[in-house]
Amino acid sequence: MSGKVSRRAGAVDPFIVMDVMAAAAEKEAAGDTVIHLEVGQPSTPAPKGALAAAHAALDADRIGYVAALGMPALRARIARHYRDAYGVEVSAERVIVTTGSSGGFPLAFLTSFDAGERVALAAPGYPAYRNILAALNLEAVDLPTSAADRFQPTVAALEKAGPIAGLIVASPSNPTGTMVTKPELAALAAWCDRRGVRMISDEIYHGIVYDGHATSAVEVSDSAIVVNSFSKYFSMTGWRVGWLVVPPDLVRPIERLAQNFFISVPTLSQHAALAAFECRDELDGHVQRYRTNRDLLMAGLPAVGLDRLAPADGAFYLYADVAHLTNDSREFCRRMLAETGVATTPGIDFDRARGAGTLRISFAGSTAEMEEAVRRLKAWRR
Ligand SMILES: Cc1ncc(COP(=O)(O)O)c(C=O)c1O
């Protein structure tokens, strides 16, 4: 006999990349070297200043609970970041510290939407959006995108989506690295405002930008919710700290939820995150390396048949159309890993309808690893 399992739990898909990671670990255990182009995180630790602040906090602080909305000093520092980086005044009261951006999504979704409502999002896109929506009895509505619209939602696509309560935008996007322009984001925000649709802007890859300016939703909207994190630019994935910027009327509802769900965000991580803002040189150095890696792959991959690459403006991913090479990206990635030791992520994680013909290549590793990956793939395709 087994106990009851909810329907909503059954609605959540597994993360296929985890299977790739398991196969890669097996290969490594057998003594082979694997080039990890499947990972979605920086290969570097937290910046030195953040580590020093964490050490100091361990010595000086009790590391107890703190306020559910975050340490006041960190909220104020994040607010200042909006003035420095975007030229927009954001009050510290609107900033809510969360357990990674992942902890921000349920708070944003639960305070914006009622069960059964429909939320639009780009396909391909980060799979957790749809899975968290499903777990909350919300319906994800795919907006199929293409290279022509830089894999971003458009007003025209929204017009065809039917009634929706929300829109998720991610720029730069995972898995494509492509961005929306400021006028496009403003048009999406205006469309949402006219219809009482809540826009949620995932800005987790801001700071990792190669071409153009990553526009924050706070520049173009008073009603959008911004989601961000210390995981990517700040290189602090395992510290589990992120933030939201929300309209004033959502602060108290989110506070009530956060108090009950989480009590507070890890205190040690908040000390470290505060210091990370003063580590720009080290962090910008990582972005330089990502840029070198991106350029190296963009130049090297076409020679191995991977010549249909999304134009990555930011983040550390290349999204490759491989439909001319396979109609089963999962099998293609499995074979590539087995025969070359280069691990990549099949597109089905990001686009259930069309991902059998795509894969994602992460260039968050070292430049030497990118060179080795291109060398191995050239030998494979010969
Ligand atoms: C687009 C996007 N949003 C959110 C997240 C979640 O990151 P975290 O919870 O570490 O902030 C990720 C992680 O890969 C991501 O790619």
Q: Give me the DSSP letters along 149-175.
A: GTT---HHHHHTS-S-SEEEEESS-TT
Choosing from 246, 261, 278, the residue where a domain stops is 278
Q: Is 6 exposed, middle or buried (0-12, 13-18, 19+ CB in 10 A)?
A: exposed
Q: Are residues 255 and 321 in the same domain?
A: no
Residues 185 and 311 in one domain: no
Quick count: other Cβ atoms within 10 Å of Cβ 376? 18
Task: Say whether both 269 and 303 belong to one domain.
Answer: no
Q: Please indicate, yes or no, if residue 2 is contained in any of the structural domains.
A: no
pLDDT tens-digit series, residues 37-71: 998 899 999 999 999 999 999 999 999 999 999 99
Please, are residues 121 and 143 in contact by the beta-carbon 8 Å criterion? yes
> Do 54 and 147 have their domain in common?
yes
- Look up the CATH number of the domain holding residue 12: 3.40.640.10
What is the 174 CA–ligand 1 centroid distance (Å)?
A: 9
**Within a 10 A sphere around the Cβ of 12, how many other Cβ atoms?**
15
User: Based on the domain organization, do 136 and 219 belong to the same domain?
Assistant: yes
- Note whether residue 60 is domain-resident: yes
Bridge partners, 319 (sequence order): 360
309 and 255 together in one domain: no
Q: What is the pLDDT of residue 15?
A: 79
73: Cβ contacts below 8 Å, ≥ 6 apart? 274
Q: Are residues 286 and 357 in the same domain?
A: yes
Ligand 1 centroid–CA 199 distance in Å is: 17
Task: Give just the sign of the alpha carbon dihedral 135, 141, 146, 151.
Answer: negative
Share of the chain above pLDDT 70, in %: 99
Q: Please give the span between the terminal C-alpha atoms of the chain, in angstroms, as a whole number.
A: 55
Ligand 1 atom with the shortest distance to the CA of 231: 10
Asked whether 63 and 268 are in contact (CB, 8 A), the reply is yes
Q: For a substitution probing ligand 1, which of 41, 78, 99, 174 has the most ligand atoms within 8 Å of its CB?
A: 174
Q: Which residue minimizes the CA distance to atom 1 of ligand 1?
A: 174
| pTM (2 d.p.) | 0.96
Phi then psi dihedrals of residue 158, to 5 deg: -65, -40
With the most atoms of ligand 1 within 8 angstroms of its CB, the residue from 102, 178, 233 to mutate is 102
Please identify, among 278, 305, 335, the residue that sits at the C-terminal boundary of a domain: 278
Indicate whether 347 belongs to any domain.
yes
Query: Same structural domain for residues 18 and 89?
Result: no
Report the C-alpha gap between 212 and 181 in whole angstroms.
8
CA–centroid distance, residue 380 to ligand 1 (Å): 32
Task: Determine, yes or no, domain membership for 1.
Answer: no
- Verify that 208 and 252 share a domain, yes or no: yes
Atom of ligand 1 nearest to the CA of 242: 11
Same domain, 172 and 290: no
pLDDT digits (tens, 9 = 90+) for 172-229: 999 999 999 999 999 999 999 999 999 999 999 999 999 889 999 999 999 999 999 9
Identify the pLDDT of residue 381: 79
The string of pLDDT tens digits covering residues 120-156 is 999 999 999 999 999 999 999 999 999 999 999 999 9
Q: 269 by DSSP, 3-state: which?
A: helix
In total, how many domains does the chain have?
Answer: 2
The candidate with the shortest Cα–Cα distance to 226, out of 8, 53, 79, is 79
Residue-wise pLDDT tens digits, 303-357: 999 999 998 999 999 999 999 999 999 999 999 999 999 999 999 989 989 999 9
Ligand 1 centre from 201 Cα, in Å?
A: 12
Looking at the CA of residue 174, tell me the nearest atom of ligand 1. Answer: 1
Question: Which among 126, 146, 144, 170 has a CA at the least distance from the CA of 311?
Answer: 146
For the cut 80, the answer to whether the pLDDT of residue 161 exceeds it is yes
Ligand 1 site residues, Cβ closer than 6 angstroms: 40, 100-102, 126, 170, 174, 202, 204, 229, 231, 237, 242
Residue 69, SS3? coil
Q: Are residues 259 and 310 in the same domain?
A: no
Residues 16 and 53 in one domain: no
Per the structure, the complete domain to which residue 110 belongs is given by: 48-278
Q: CA torsion 227→228→231→236, rounded to 10°? A: -130
CA of 241 to the centre of ligand 1 (A): 11
Counting from 1 in the atom list of ligand 1, the atom nearest the Cα of 237 is 10
Domain finish residue from 278, 311, 334: 278
Q: Quick one: how many helices (H) and strands (E) in the chain? A: 13, 12
Q: Given CA atoms 84, 85, 88, 94 in this order, what sign does their dihedral have? A: negative
